[in-house]
Chains A and B, each alone.
Chain A
Amino acid sequence: MTAKGSTLVKEVRQETDATVVVLSGEVDMHQSPALHAALVDVANGRPKRLVLNMTDVGYMDSSGVGTLVELLRRVNGYKGKLALVNLSARVKSVFEITKLDKFFSIYLTEEQALNG
Chain B
Amino acid sequence: MTITGSTDSLPVVRSALARMAELEGMAAEDIHKITLAVDEALANVIKHGYGGPCDKPIHIKLEGFDEPDGRGGIRVEVRDHGRQVDPHTIKGRDLDDVRPGGLGVHIMRTVMDKVEFSCPIDGGMHLEMVKYRDGGARKPGDAGARTT
Contacts and interface: CB of A to CB of B under 8 A. Distances in A.
Interface string A65-78: 11101100000000
A90 interface: yes
B95 interface: yes
Contacts, number: 58
Contacts of B43: 28-29, 61-63
Contacts of B123: none
Contact of A30 (B7, B100, B101, B111): B7
Interface of A: 26, 28-30, 59, 61-63, 65-67, 69-70, 90, 93-94, 97-100, 103
Interface residues of B, number: 23
Contacts of A63: 43
A97 B107 contact: yes
Given A29-B46, A94-B36, A99-B95, A65 B103 contact: yes
Contacts of A29: 7, 10, 39, 43, 46-47
A66 B11 contact: no
Given A94-B36, A97-B107, 5 more contacts: A30-B7, A61-B104, A62-B103, A97-B110, A98-B103
